Amino acid sequence: MGLRKFSLIPFPGKEYLPGVRITGFVERRMNRLSVRYDLFGKISELALAAPQPFPARKDRLWKGTCLELFLALTDSERYWEFNFSPGGDWNVYRFESCRTGMRDETSYSSLPFHVRRETDALRLSVDLDIGLIIPADNSIAAGVAAIVKPVTGETVHWALAHPNSRPDFHRRDGFMLSFSGRSIR
């Protein structure tokens, strides 16, 4: 009941590597949110950050290949942006409304996630304690996105949907996964 599978699509009109696809799931269990990304394709043709021995909070991860999650309270303009680099670095930002009031979300001092690289896949999984920012009885909306940077060529933006004439993961109409608060078991 709390599991939502997803398949991301590249922004229309942008060239992307043939055979690349991004799927996964988001599952809510009270204050826990489990997220899994599976990026399939010619991984050797993607610009991926090298694994970091000591992953840390870093800004501007979206300048390279970055997997992203957006969470919003359904009855508020407030939302959060989670950034996961395949190298292990991360960040969480809080916004008061669309692209307004951005600041680091200090409720998280670390964001441990697991990355597995294979010949034809990159898999990232994370279990988030969203109770640090969202009470269990609050309904939420989620947007899942990715920025994929080929070794050669332009960065391609992937999302559940692209409701604008240019890539914009911050638009609420792109937060297409919903999770109720009380009914989650």
pLDDT at 181: 83
What is the C-alpha to C-alpha distance for residues 69 and 95, in angstroms, rounded to an integer? 13
pTM exceeds 0.75, yes or no: yes
Name the token pair of 117. Answer: 């690289």
The partner residues of 71 in beta bridges, in order of sequence, read 80, 142
pLDDT at 66: 98
Residues of the chain with pLDDT under 70: 1, 15-16, 182-185
Q: What is the CA radius of gyration of the chain?
A: 16
End-to-end CA distance of the chain: 8
Q: What is the pLDDT of residues 150-181, one digit of tens each?
A: 998 789 999 999 999 999 999 999 999 999 98
**CA angle, 13 then 175 then 85, to 5°:** 70
pLDDT at 184: 41
Q: Strands 90-95, 103-104: parallel, antiparallel or unpaired by DSSP?
A: antiparallel
Quickly count: other Cβ atoms within 10 Å of residue 16's Cβ.
Answer: 19
Name the token pair of 158. Answer: 């992937």
